[in-house]
Amino acid sequence: MFQAARVKSLLIVLLALGLIACHAPSAKSPSDSGSTSMSSYKPVKHFPADISREKRVMGAIMGYLAGDAMGLGIHWYYNLDELHKDYGPWVDSYQNPTPDGSHSFAQISRFRHEQGVRAGDVSQTGQIFTLLLESVAAQGRYDENDFHRRLDEFFKTLNGESYSGRYTESIIKSLWASRQKGVAWNDPAMATASDTSDGAQLAIILALIYEDAETLAIEADRLMKPLFKNDFIRQNQVVYAMTLQALIKGIQLPEMRDHLIGLLQNPVIKPLIGGYDNTFTVSNGSIAWHPDKVRVEPPLYISHVYGTDCQLTHLLPAAYYLIHRFPNDFEMGMLSAANGGGNNMARAALTGALLGAMTGVSAIPPRFIKNLENSELYLRLGRQVASHPVPVR
């Protein structure tokens, strides 16, 4: 109820600012965004159906990593005028973190630049994603002991401060500190009060290997237990994973709401994904199919409707809107997420994984794969994961 009221208030404000067009077919988008005029915008509801499971799995992996890398160079610009000053009005390729940015998080960009982070690199979150990808590729399933061992080794490269590695965010700092104190990974005290999307990003990999919905829900929640105390935060991230699993199976967006509601009939799954409201969040993105009523223009401003910050409940609705707006266009969906400012890195990664699954790896423009550092490794791991799904029980 609170979130719905908040979004309604934001819509009213943005209508006044002219960022959302309502019953205004003459309005146009800036040409640099790659968008079309309202009069020529025809909603698309379906993504390609004739794509193999392997291509969808690899599309999700490479889409995630491309989104993460796309956001890294232009991360945390909360003022789009500053983003445009430093990188231009529409960024469509990987960028170096600038050593002399004009935004309020310029010191982080400078730090990353000094650490040697360059265009095409993934973030620290992307590095941890890769650890889990390697673990699953090696084990053929989610093995928490193996993954936690890899995390512990990775933590040895950090010092517990923000300015460590490729920049260490709060949730990783908390986990690092607990491990330094000897807290076991399976100790409830390990879990943090974070409300970020790290769990959803990691659960992408589980959604690609588990074909059974109940197994995925159990394993995704188990993955997140050491990370998040709050049931609501875990539940919404499990819903994201269940959505991705459905897309891998080829379930189309118009059927997604009924599919997710149907999962609530399973007494094991229901407490792990919460109530109806959590499942409705996905299909709320279908407002993109009704431009005669509400249209966010250019679509990158969806981040300003829901919130540009790091909170999960602000990131996921934006991603869900963009996959409904661009169900057969990976590039425009992912780039709209990346160009929206704030925590564009997580937003673009989450959007990229969903769109990559929907359109398949072949629909990702070659430059996003060719210019991605370590792309051959990621493609090899993707093929390994895609070739060993865990069957439905």
Asked whether the beta carbons of 67 and 357 are under 8 A apart, the reply is no
- Is pLDDT at 7 greater than 60 in this prediction? no
The confidence score (pLDDT) of residue 64 equals 98
What's residue 40's pLDDT? 67
Q: How high is the pLDDT of residue 392?
A: 65
pLDDT of residue 133: 98
Tell me the pLDDT band of 30, cut-offs 50, 70 and 90. very low
Write down the residue that tokens 């992912």 correspond to.
Answer: 334
More confident residue, 5 or 201: 201
Pinpoint the alpha helices (H) of 18-103: 53-72, 80-87
pLDDT at 32: 41
Domain ranges of the chain: 49-94+104-386
Q: How far apart are the C-alpha atoms of 226 and 145, rounded to whole Å?
A: 12
| Rounded distance between C-alpha atoms, residue 65 and residue 58, angstroms | 11
Query: In this predicted model, what pLDDT tens digit does every residue of 341-354 receive, in sequence order?
Result: 999 999 999 999 99
Strands 20-21 and 295-296: antiparallel
Non-local CB neighbours of 192 within 8 Å, separated by 6+ positions: 170, 171, 174, 175, 227, 228, 229
Mean pLDDT, residues 3-18: 45
Give the per-residue pLDDT at 393: 57
Which pLDDT band, with edges at 50, 70 and 90, does 100 fall under?
Answer: very high
Q: What's the topology of domain 49-94+104-386?
A: ADP-ribosylglycohydrolase fold (1.10.4080)
Answer yes or no: are the C-beta atoms of 190 and 178 closer than 8 Å: yes
Look at the alpha carbons of 288, 293, 296, 298 in this order and tell me if their dihedral is positive or negative: positive
Length of the chain: 393
CA distance 52 to 258: 23
The pLDDT of residue 18 is above 90: no
Mean pLDDT of 258-284: 97
Mean pLDDT across the chain: 91
DSSP state of 35: P
Q: Looking at the predicted structure, is the pLDDT value of residue 36 above 50?
A: no
The token duo for 307 is 């919130």
Does pLDDT of 274 surpass 70?
yes
Among 27-31, 115-119, 175-179, 257-261, the range scoring the smallest mean pLDDT is: 27-31
Average pLDDT on 260-269 reads: 97
Q: Which one-letter amino acid corresponds to residue 319?
A: A
**pLDDT on residue 203:** 98
For the record, the structure tokens of 85 come out as 């000053």
Give the pLDDT band of residue 391 (cuts 50, 70, 90).
low
Locate tokens 């005669």: which residue? 292
With 0-12 / 13-18 / 19 or more C-beta atoms within 10 angstroms meaning exposed / middle / buried, residue 18 is: exposed
- The pLDDT tens digits of the residues spanning 65-89 come to 999 999 999 999 999 999 999 999 9
The pLDDT of residue 25: 31
